[in-house]
Amino acid sequence: MQAESPVTSPTFDLLDSCGTFRVLVGVTGSVAALKVPLLVSQLLELPGVSFILITMEDRGLWRQRSDPVLHIELRRWADLLVIAPLDANTLGKIASGICDNLLTCVVRAWDTSRPLLFCPAMNTAMWHHPITSRQVDILKEFGYVEIPCIAKKLVCGDQGKGAMAEVSTIVDVVKQYVQKAAESPQEGAGAVRKEQARCCEEGAGQVP
């Protein structure tokens, strides 16, 4: 797998990962973000995959008119977006169409023909609030795929559902999409990768 650095400049090279399955990892403010290093290390073990890690705080990287519009470039770049963890606040924003940071802007512009996986993570009391199930259903109506949270003892000491799915579970789901793209190159992300490879060969600087 090819590892790419977290986005630090609006001029990052989208051609660096030509020929790979491109995974965009979105991270929100849940305490489960502590597991992101483990998630990244396991994604690194998947062959033929490259990834970029983004947070909610990278939006200010756009500085002048000549700079690429970062959330659009990321949306074009990625074959798959996985949000792990997805906290209650960002869940509500996505369900409502709010786009006030880099991650929510990427989601708002997302090509719904490409997979978006979301991994809810929040306190048990927040998970069981009636609005949560409605918001999760809205995301599913968009065609996004839930990797369900699990029940365990949370950091706050509560016992119950709301913990992010195990990292191994998340990686297994991503792996299924990678394998599907490899087996069906004319469909879905496979077709996107084929077009990306064509652009790379032509020396194009943008992914159509």
Hey, which residues are catalytic here?
Answer: 156
What value, to the nearest 5°, has the Cα angle with vertex 179 and ends 38 and 82? 45
Residue 30 DSSP class: S
Q: How long is the chain?
A: 208
Q: Which of 155, 125, 171 is nearest to 30 (CA)?
A: 155
- Residue position matching structure tokens 């990678």: 178
Question: What is the per-residue DSSP string for 80-106?
Answer: EEEEEEE-HHHHHHHHHT---SHHHHH
The helix or strand, by DSSP H or E, that contains position 180, with its residue range, turns out to be helix 167-183
